[in-house]
């Protein structure tokens, strides 16, 4: 029971962030569906965001990143949205040309 | 960085003062952040004009080429990089927007290069006619938007701007790579580019978050200061995290640089996308990525003179306040930045009073960080250069061959960075000459590669093929263009009277100097591999030259008409003349590049 009553520290946030990161990287590496890969990228970005917010909080550590942490998270959210919009448009254009969004079907360019 | 203010009012007025300088509400001081950021603001305005003007009837008739052209020329005129040699003191290091960006000769030089490339690129796209009338506005908007991101990359002083610059440059590039509709190869290239690019950016962001957590800052000079103070006392586990974060950030940078383990997207994208987009990615994107690499390694590996000086001044104060937990960081940071701003303004006012006692504080923490980065980048540069040259051999598609050649050249330019890091503290002037070597290389590379891609694009328009074998016997049907191409290929190899030789010489000479002074063994390896690679690259460039000049013309081919005295031919000539005759006037470029890096390391 004592484990459940422990004070939440930066490490707890970092553990969740690292879990997101690893899940995202696995998703990017193993998914064959382009949308699955894009979801993996979002997970990686959000794992990093969680780290930034945890490091930025002054309640968790006396030496914190300060407002920079929160601001970076905000900017990353916006950039991730822009990136997702473009990546989805490209996935659509890939679908128009190949009638599938299986990334393994894109194998014409190599050498 | 944190602004230390007692009240909200002070905070706001401090931000305003930093942004627009001291003065009334209506005037903007010339040396304020906004005044120095004006070229980018004009570029933003151009992009917005392009988007908005299409809503009205006039916009349907107006060719967006002219809007983009006027915007880029205006940005270049406001920036006026030619002032670099006239008055170098104007370009002393100065932080903009509370430390987000840095303004110095190097950023002016790089932005001048990017704007100049943008102008040449617009003309190139106009002549080759790749954007159809309906598409042209979209393409010019994307190119200008990417240029804006590249400008941020070359002036980054904060890890947020590093990440934002990379994303702002990459996201339009993804769209540019896939702009040909219903084209199987283009859509495949764009998807690979976008997926790998976003993945690399995500990994880089995670690395930045780890570094931010370890050192409690994302502002590069403050980061260097924290490293110099805290790295020697860190535990092994923390050092491991720092090294991992460095690797992750390097992965993101290597992706933009198309360096060895992250190079695989470049050949696919170049083959799938039109040659015009290849030119943009191989020149502008590479130039900004190298500038960013220099910014990051200089930012993390060295203390700017003003910060180092104030660090020595405030050491006693800092030690005293170490007792009071919680306020330590504010008191550490505050003198550095306030001092930094004050001094830079003062320096720009009266340049003669450069402090003579700028003796750098030798710090073991920074030295360790520098050695780590230097060895990592040396290894990546060696692998990139060798791999690019070896993989270029078997290529039949000219764009794919040029893609591998781009990788090899990126590796070659990166070779100057370990040299820079090895002597950054001992001999700042030699380290600066390494950066000026990169700058010279980039200018020459701009002409060489733009010329090569222009010829590929014009030949595609004339004969509808991009296979090297189809170029057989072109000497007969279009001699002017063929001779220009051969000159450019010889220059890409780096043969003596041509510009490419000067570029390679500038980089290798800087590395050799650094090796002489520091005696670090890995620099020797860099030198040897650099020279060997020049020899390796001989064969695949010469193969193209041989096919074009010596092989007989195939009977089946319809006559190719690409005279030298047409818009396309003149454009190629315009790119070739500097490549061929650069040796005559290379002193002025050397002077400009040296003036540009004057304030990069030290006063």
Any chain A CB within 8 A of the CB of B202? Answer: yes
What value does the mean pLDDT of chain B take? 85
**Closest chain A CA to residue B395:** A111
**Domain edges within chain B:** 16-303+363-596, 308-345
pLDDT of the residue at B317: 54
Q: Is the model's pLDDT at B263 over the cut of 70?
A: yes
Mark yes or no for CB contact B212/A68 under 8 Å.
yes
Shortest Cα–Cα distance, B563 to chain A (Å): 32
Q: Which of B206-210, B331-335, B366-370, B584-588 has the lowest mean pLDDT?
A: B331-335
**Closest chain B CA to residue A14:** B210
Per-residue pLDDT of B440-459, as tens digits, reads: 999 999 999 999 999 999 99
Any chain A CB within 8 A of the CB of B331? Answer: no
Q: Which of B66-75, B308-317, B355-364, B567-576 has the lowest mean pLDDT?
A: B355-364
What whole-number distance in Å separates Cα of residue B517 and Cα of residue B43? 43
DSSP-assigned beta bridge partners for residue A29: none
**B331 compared with B518, residue with greater pLDDT:** B518
What whole-number distance in Å separates Cα of residue B388 and Cα of residue A73? 37
Q: Which of B34-48, B133-147, B165-179, B278-292 has the lowest mean pLDDT?
A: B133-147
Shortest Cα–Cα distance, B29 to chain A (Å): 27
Per-residue pLDDT of B394-403, as tens digits, reads: 889 999 999 9
A 21-40 near B (Cβ less than 8 A): 21, 24-25, 28, 34, 37-38, 40
Mark yes or no for CB contact A28/B208 under 8 Å.
no
pLDDT of the residue at B172: 95
Mark yes or no for CB contact A64/B395 under 8 Å.
no
Any chain B CB within 8 A of the CB of A19? Answer: no
Residue whose C-alpha is closest to residue B108's, from B129, B134, B131, B90: B90
Phi-psi region of B180 (alpha: psi -120 to 50; beta: other; left: phi over 0): beta
What chain A holds in terms of domains, given with CATH numbers, is 9-104 (1.10.287.3510)
pLDDT band at B246 (very low <50, low <70, confident <90, very high): very high
Best residue in A35, A40, A83, A99 to probe B by mutation, most B CBs within 10 Å?
Answer: A83
Measured CA distances, B408 to A39, B22, B197 (Å): 33, 48, 20
| Mean pLDDT, range B343-359, rounded to an integer | 38
The torsion angle over the Cα atoms of residues B21, B23, B24 and B27, rounded to 10 degrees, is -60
Q: Is the model's pLDDT at B298 over the cut of 80?
A: yes
Residue whose C-alpha is closest to residue B147's, from B131, B163, B165: B165
What whole-number distance in Å separates Cα of residue B486 and Cα of residue A1? 77
Shortest Cα–Cα distance, B569 to chain A (Å): 31
Q: Is the model's pLDDT at B507 over the cut of 90?
A: yes
Q: Give the relative orientation of helices B364-391 and B398-414 as an angle to the nearest 10 degrees.
A: 160
| b/e sequence B251-272, b meaning 16+ C-beta within 10 Å | bbbbbbbbbbebbebbbbbbbb
The torsion angle over the Cα atoms of residues B127, B154, B178 and A36, rounded to 10 degrees, is 180
**B470 compared with B564, residue with greater pLDDT:** B470
Per-residue pLDDT of A47-86, as tens digits, reads: 999 999 999 988 888 788 888 899 999 999 999 999 999 9
Other beta carbons within 10 Å of B187: 25
* Burial class of residue B566 in the structure, from the number of CB atoms within 10 Å of its CB (0-12 exposed, 13-18 middle, 19+ buried): middle
pLDDT of the residue at B24: 65
| Three-class SS state of B157 | coil
Question: What number of residues does chain B have?
Answer: 603
Other beta carbons within 10 Å of B244: 14
What whole-number distance in Å separates Cα of residue B406 and Cα of residue B282? 6
Q: Is the model's pLDDT at B26 over the cut of 80?
A: no
**B425 compared with B408, residue with greater pLDDT:** B408
What whole-number distance in Å separates Cα of residue B462 and Cα of residue B481? 12
**Coarse DSSP helix, strand, coil percentages of chain A, rounded to the nearest 5 percent:** 75, 0, 25
pLDDT of the residue at B9: 81
Nearest to A72 among B160, B178, B268 (CB): B160
Other beta carbons within 10 Å of B598: 21
User: 3-class secondary structure for B179-235?
Assistant: CCCCCHHHHHHHHHHHHHHHHHHHHHHHHHHHHHHHHCCCEHHHHHHHHHHHHHHCC
**B507 compared with B586, residue with greater pLDDT:** B507
pLDDT band at A1 (very low <50, low <70, confident <90, very high): low
pLDDT of the residue at B302: 85
Q: Is the model's pLDDT at B343 over the cut of 70?
A: no
What whole-number distance in Å separates Cα of residue B188 and Cα of residue B200? 18
**Closest chain B CA to residue A94:** B187
- What's A31's DSSP letter? -
User: 3-class secondary structure for B353-394?
Assistant: CCCCCCCCCCCHHHHHHHHHHHHHHHHHHHHHHHHHHHHCCC
Contact between residue B86 and residue B274 where contact means Cβ atoms under 8 Å apart: no
Q: Is the model's pLDDT at A3 over the cut of 80?
A: no
pLDDT band at A92 (very low <50, low <70, confident <90, very high): very high
Per-residue pLDDT of B305-335, as tens digits, reads: 666 666 666 654 545 444 443 333 333 333 3
Contact between residue B175 and residue A92 where contact means Cβ atoms under 8 Å apart: no
Q: Which of B89-103, B368-382, B391-405 has the lowest mean pLDDT?
A: B89-103
Q: Which residues of A touch B164 (CB under 8 A)?
A: 75, 79
Residue whose C-alpha is closest to residue B298's, from B458, B390, B417: B417
Shortest Cα–Cα distance, A3 to chain B (Å): 24
Mark yes or no for CB contact B163/A76 under 8 Å.
yes
B40 Cβ contact list (under 8 Å, min separation 6): B75, B148, B151, B152
Mark yes or no for CB contact B212/A111 under 8 Å.
no
Contact between residue B467 and residue B404 where contact means Cβ atoms under 8 Å apart: no
Going through B517-568 in order, the beta strands assigned E by DSSP cover none
Q: Which residues of A touch B328 (CB under 8 A)?
A: 63
Contact between residue B35 and residue B29 where contact means Cβ atoms under 8 Å apart: yes
Any chain A CB within 8 A of the CB of B183? Answer: yes
B 375-414 near A (Cβ less than 8 A): 394-395, 397, 400
What value does the mean pLDDT of chain A take? 89
Q: Which of B50-64, B168-182, B296-310, B392-406 has the lowest mean pLDDT?
A: B296-310
Shortest Cα–Cα distance, A44 to chain B (Å): 6
What whole-number distance in Å separates Cα of residue B285 and Cα of residue B303? 27
| Three-class SS state of B306 | helix
DSSP B389-439: HHHTTT--BHHHHHHHHHHHHHHHHHTHHHHHHHTTTT-HHHHHHHHHHHH
Nearest to B183 among A34, A87, A97 (CB): A97
| Mean pLDDT, range B69-85, rounded to an integer | 91
pLDDT of the residue at B2: 47
What whole-number distance in Å separates Cα of residue B330 and Cα of residue B334? 6
Any chain B CB within 8 A of the CB of A86? Answer: yes
Among A44-53, B456-465, B561-570, the range of highest mean pLDDT: A44-53
pTM higher than the cut 0.80: yes
Mark yes or no for CB contact B195/A34 under 8 Å.
yes
Instruction: Report ipTM for this prediction.
Output: 0.95
pLDDT of the residue at B559: 74
pLDDT of the residue at B599: 81
Contact between residue B278 and residue B270 where contact means Cβ atoms under 8 Å apart: yes
Best residue in B183, B194, B201 to probe A by mutation, most A CBs within 10 Å?
Answer: B194
Best residue in A65, A98, A100, A107 to probe B by mutation, most B CBs within 10 Å?
Answer: A65
What whole-number distance in Å separates Cα of residue A44 and Cα of residue B523? 36
Other beta carbons within 10 Å of B16: 13
pLDDT band at A41 (very low <50, low <70, confident <90, very high): very high
Other beta carbons within 10 Å of B461: 14
Shortest Cα–Cα distance, A95 to chain B (Å): 9
């Amino acid at each position: 029971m004592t484990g459940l009553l422990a004070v939440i520290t930066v490490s707890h946030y970092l553990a969740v962030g690292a879990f997101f990161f690893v899940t995202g990287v696995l998703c990017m590496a193993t998914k064959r569906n382009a949308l699955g890969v894009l979801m993996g990228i979002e997970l990686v970005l959000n794992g990093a965001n969680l780290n930034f917010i945890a490091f930025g909080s002054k309640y968790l550590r006396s030496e914190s990143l300060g407002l920079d942490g929160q601001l970076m998270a905000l900017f990353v959210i916006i950039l991730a949205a822009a990136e997702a919009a473009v990546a989805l448009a490209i996935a659509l254009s890939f679908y128009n040309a190949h009638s599938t969004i299986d990334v393994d079907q894109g194998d014409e360019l190599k050498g | 960085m944190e602004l230390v203010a007692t009240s909200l009012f002070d905070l706001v007025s401090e931000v305003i003062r930093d942004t627009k300088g001291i003065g009334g509400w209506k005037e903007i001081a010339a040396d304020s952040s906004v005044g120095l950021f004006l070229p980018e603001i004009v570029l933003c305005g151009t992009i917005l004009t392009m988007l908005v003007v299409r809503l009205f009837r006039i916009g349907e008739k107006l060719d967006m080429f002219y809007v983009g052209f006027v915007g880029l020329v205006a940005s270049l005129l406001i920036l006026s990089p030619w002032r670099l040699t006239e008055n170098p003191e104007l370009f002393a290091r100065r932080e903009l927007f509370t430390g987000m960006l840095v303004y110095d000769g190097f950023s002016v030089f790089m932005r001048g290069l990017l704007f100049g490339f943008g102008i040449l690129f617009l003309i190139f796209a106009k002549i080759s006619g790749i954007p159809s009338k309906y598409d042209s506005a979209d393409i010019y908007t994307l190119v200008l938007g990417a240029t804006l991101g590249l400008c941020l990359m070359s002036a980054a002083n904060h890890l947020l701007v590093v990440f934002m610059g990379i994303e702002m440059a990459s996201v339009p590039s993804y769209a540019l790579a896939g702009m040909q509709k219903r084209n199987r190869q283009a859509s495949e290239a764009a998807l690979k580019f976008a997926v790998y690019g976003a993945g690399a950016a995500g990994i880089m962001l995670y690395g930045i978050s780890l570094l931010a957590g370890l050192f409690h800052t994302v502002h590069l000079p403050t980061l260097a200061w924290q490293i110099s103070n805290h790295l020697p006392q860190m535990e092994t586990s923390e050092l491991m995290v720092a090294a991992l974060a460095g690797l992750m950030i390097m992965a993101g940078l290597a992706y933009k640089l198309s360096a060895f383990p992250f190079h695989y997207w470049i050949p696919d994208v170049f083959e799938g996308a039109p040659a015009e987009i290849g030119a943009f990615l191989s020149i502008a994107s590479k130039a900004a990525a190298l500038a960013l690499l220099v910014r990051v390694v200089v930012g993390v590996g060295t203390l700017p003179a003003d910060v180092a000086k104030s660090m020595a001044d405030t050491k006693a104060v800092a030690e005293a306040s170490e007792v009071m937990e919680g306020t330590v960081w504010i008191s550490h940071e505050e003198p550095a930045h306030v001092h930094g701003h004050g001094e830079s303004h003062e320096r720009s006012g009266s340049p003669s009073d450069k402090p003579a006692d700028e003796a750098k504080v030798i710090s073991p923490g920074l030295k360790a960080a520098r050695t780590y980065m230097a060895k990592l980048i040396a290894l990546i540069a060696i692998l990139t250069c060798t791999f690019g040259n070896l993989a270029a051999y078997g290529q039949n598609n000219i764009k794919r061959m040029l893609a591998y050649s781009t990788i090899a050249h990126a590796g070659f330019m990166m070779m100057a960075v370990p040299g820079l890091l090895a002597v950054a503290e001992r001999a700042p002037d030699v380290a600066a000459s390494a950066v000026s070597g990169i700058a010279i290389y980039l200018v020459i590379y701009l002409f060489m590669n733009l010329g090569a891609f222009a010829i590929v694009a014009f030949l595609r328009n004339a004969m509808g093929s991009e296979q090297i074998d189809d170029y057989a016997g072109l000497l007969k049907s279009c001699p002017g263009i063929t001779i220009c191409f051969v000159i450019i290929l010889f220059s890409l190899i780096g043969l003596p009277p041509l510009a490419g030789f000067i570029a390679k010489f500038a980089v290798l000479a800087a590395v050799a100097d650094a090796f002489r002074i520091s005696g670090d063994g890995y620099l020797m390896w860099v030198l040897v591999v650099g020279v060997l690679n020049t020899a390796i690259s001989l064969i695949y460039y010469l193969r193209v030259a041989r096919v074009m000049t010596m092989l007989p013309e195939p009977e089946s081919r319809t006559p190719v008409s690409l005279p030298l005295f047409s818009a396309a031919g003149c454009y190629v000539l315009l790119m070739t003349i500097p490549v061929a005759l650069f040796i005559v006037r290379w002193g002025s470029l050397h002077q400009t590049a040296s003036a540009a890096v004057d304030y990069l390391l030290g006063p």
